[in-house]
Structure 1
């Protein structure tokens, strides 16, 4: 028997943000993914009764998760993230872009629990899940969420999930239970014909992104029966803050060759740094333990972002990460703030998930005759001078081998032209956000 969404909606995620950073912060980012799942053309969802079954089983298969997520999941998410970013670049070339591959991956992992047959195979290929079974994917996401959300007392990261179903529709109980157990998803049923349902969903998004994303659903279409939503909220303080008195107007050179005056922050110190013939790259840590960092990749004067992106893939990324080493230097970085939104149906189709959006879709493990209608994604990011210093930050990054290397000349990195950036969890290797900044806005 299929299980009805609980009207009470077990709310595993109603919790306040655990770490208060005060009024000062350096970066706040939010990401939301929306999956609109609609009935295929042969289904009349309005007559699909919501079958009433017993209450969900109380035992949880994830009560004792492993200490570390399966490295195969991190690798899969990294490969998927760069494939997705590459496709988004094709559609928004020349624009500022900021996405959360982690948010998209989590939302699609929840959806993957309802896929079957060739649709499941297509999603596995697109999401790079080929070497992972469903149990590995789900259990590793449990551990990954726990590690990310407890990274550092000076870094606030929350990950929230929810499923919002049309109260007239029915879904497989195992599908709902797995999303409860493994993704602590809020499960709720709504009257999709009631205009207030739109506000209920968007209010949840607003709350779980600390007001940075105020709405993700603009309208509930008559044929939509389910929304799967992930929200990520990040707020971190630099390990070493930028001195506001050092911020000044400097030229930023656009891709067109034009220049604009823009507030630039300046700082000197010891950083994890990497340079090759194509680019300079630096890691700016957050918090006390530097478990998360903001990575900046600046193409050199004889190169550009387009050339850099031709080499941006998971394999090269891992090679680059291994070559960062402690070095003294100075950096000048633009202060910026932006909102970004994108629909991901075309990018996901381009990397092999097209069947999931078609009438050939098979989500029988979720419910009867369902397909994905759209995937929407919104982000917000702000980078400025403020943050909290933590003396132990650089000690984590120092390795015995560094002491054996000859001293290097101090570097100078002036981020005065378009650049690539990413927020990475250094403990797990997870990439939370990545962006292409071609014209910073303050």
Structure 2
């Protein structure tokens, strides 16, 4: 079983004409969101060489709400930073929120996938939010709007954390929001995913094995084992192998494992949406012995320190233009915190047999042993929407 939880919150304080193009689709949005995810990953990776985990969908959805609130340079910076320029239509300002709404409906349409997204706007009772923004927030993102007195910092923090705990099924219990009497608005988005492997690992076969963090550091980790037919491919120019581990109900994890002689940092700059789609298209089903570590990662990111490097600057300064949110002057975003939790283990229930298209027979099983730093991507197969991504440098570090 794997569960993933993400919470992103925004704290707001108060003191081109385009050519006609065909209507963009949710597939277009998924590709743009994927490229944004790869860019954000590289920014985070430039700060440290540790584990990474985040939800590009949760972050993009949050900023899609702020796109509805913004105008002028702030609007332009959000569109550009989140790689949404080719999707925007001047004559249809609602097109991007609509795409996010349609994407969410497509992912969860049969009701069996455990992917819960929620959003809430906590606002000071005296704060005046533009009616159009409030209506669109409810229409496109089904957001809850709650009144809270931020001058009672402890009481408001308790209320906010109770909301987050409930929405993430108790997986995220404390987010340290810097709430004070100057806080006027708090925008919180959560995403919770729980999936069972289609081909579960047998816990009785899990045993400790070495994981090579680098040439000098080796740790012992619980290594899961499964012999079956899996979809895999090799990206020879990149120097890495790919393994698909499907969950039930149309979601999969894609493992990208650099070759033994390839440093994972050499691959950072080569990951892109185009390359990801190539991996998915070229997967072939063969018999494999898969060895993969159990791991749990819990990461928090102060995105207000990272996103300015990606061109999103004005929204965090006194020059922020959020006039579609409120006519009150001096409103800016003071914080953007993103917290993500993932846990991977053996649990799952075998589903119906998968298609056998592309099976390549081998007399002896090959092996796919994940015993060194690797990348992983959790995506919705039909839309190719990237729900989560990360890298594991040391699976023993939560």
- Pairwise mapping of residues 310-329 of structure 1 onto structure 2 (< 5 A)? 310-329=269-288
Corresponding residue of 1:250? 209
Match of 1:375 in 2: 336
8 Å contact 2:26–2:383 — kept in the other structure?
Answer: no
Out of 353, 362, 368, the residue aligned to residue 413 of structure 1 is: 368
Tell me if structure 2 keeps the 8 A contact 1:201–1:217: no
Structure 1 unaligned blocks of 5 or more:
1-25, 44-67
1:32-71 matches, within 5 Å, as 32-39=7-14, 43=15, 70-71=26-27
Shift of 1:408: 6.0
In structure 2, the residue matched to 1:131 is 86
Q: How far did 1:374 drift?
A: 1.4
Bigger Cα displacement from structure 2, 406-415 vs 109-118: 406-415
Match of 1:225 in 2: 184
Partner in structure 2 of residue 119 of structure 1: 74
2:193 maps to 1:237: no
1:302 equivalent in structure 2: 261
Residues 1:188 and 2:146 are matched in the alignment:
yes
Deviation at 1:174, TM superposition (A): 0.7
CA distance in 1, matches of 2:171, 2:265: 30
Please say which of residues 413-422 and 166-175 is displaced more in the overlay: 166-175
Which structure 2 residue ranges, 5 or more long, are not aligned? 16-23
- Over residues 72-107 of structure 1, what are the superposed CA-to-partner deviations in whole Å (9 max), with x where a residue is unaligned? 21122111111111111111x221111111110111
Whole-angstrom CA distance in 2 between matches of 1:275 and 1:112? 39
Q: Could you tell me the TM-score, scaled by structure 2's length?
A: 0.91
Once residues 113 and 255 of structure 1 are traced to their aligned partners in structure 2, the CA distance between those partners, rounded to angstroms, is 45
Answering whether residue 310 of structure 2 is matched by residue 355 of structure 1, we say no
The 5 Å alignment of 1:95-114 reads: 95-114=50-69
| Root-mean-square deviation over aligned CA pairs | 1.8
Q: Which residue of 2 aligns with 1:331?
A: 290
**Contact 2:235-2:241 within 8 A present in 1 as well:** yes
Q: Could you tell me which residue of structure 1 aligns to residue 219 of structure 2?
A: 260
**Stretch deviating more after TM superposition (408-417 or 327-336):** 408-417
- Counterpart in 1 of 2:19? none
1:431 equivalenced with 2:376 (yes/no): no
Distance 2:277 2:303 in 1: 25
- Contact between 1:34 and 1:216, CA under 8 Å: does it hold in 2? no
Secondary structure in structure 1 of the residue aligned to 2:86: coil
CA deviations on 1:152-171 (whole Å, 9 max, x unpaired) are: 73x41111111111112111
- In the alignment, is the contact (CA less than 8 A) between 2:68 and 2:133 conserved in 1? yes
Counterpart residue number, 1:20: none
Displacement of 1:271 in angstroms is 1.2
CA contact (8 A) 1:357 1:373 kept: yes
Equivalent residue, structure 2, for 1:202? 161
State the distance in 1 between where 2:334 and 2:214 align. 35
**Shift of residue 219, structure 1, vs aligned partner:** 3.3
**1:38 shift after superposition:** 1.3
Aligned to 1:31: 6
Per-residue deviation at 1:372?
A: 1.1
Show CA shifts across 1:163-183 (max 9, x none): 111112111111111010000
In structure 2, the partner of 1:384 is: 345
Of 275, 286, 291, which aligns to 2:247?
286
**Relative to structure 1, is the Cα distance of residues 218 and 135 closer, same or farther in structure 2, using a 3 angstrom cutoff?**
closer
Q: Could you tell me which of 97, 100, 119 is aligned with 1:141?
A: 100
Post-superposition offset of 1:380: 0.9
- Secondary structure of the residue aligned to 1:113 is helix
Please give the per-residue CA displacement for 1:379-426, whole angstroms capped at 9, x wherever unaligned.
Answer: 11111111111023x22xx55xx37xx646753111001110111111
Q: C-alpha distance in 2, partners of 1:176/1:81?
A: 28
Q: Output the TM-score relative to the length of structure 1.
A: 0.82
Cα contact 2:74–2:314 (8 A) shared by 1: yes
Residues 201-256 of structure 1, C-alpha deviation per residue, up to 9 Å, x if partnerless? 11111101001111224331332211111100011100011011111111111125
Size of the alignment, in residue pairs?
Answer: 379
Q: d(CA) in 1 for partners of 2:298 and 2:255?
A: 19
Instruction: Give CA deviations for 1:302-348 in whole Å, capped at 9, x if unaligned.
Output: 10210111211222222222222222211100011121111111221
Alignment of 1:154-193 (within 5 A): 155-193=113-151
2:168 is aligned with 1:214: no
Structure 1 contact 249–263 (Cα < 8 Å) conserved:
yes
SS at match of 2:38: helix
Give the equivalent residue in structure 2 for 1:15.
none
Residue 148 of structure 1 and its aligned partner are, at CA, apart by 2.1
Cα distance, 1:257 vs. partner?
A: 2.2
Structure-2 separation of matches of 1:391 and 1:266 = 21
1:86 aligns to 2:42 (yes or no): yes
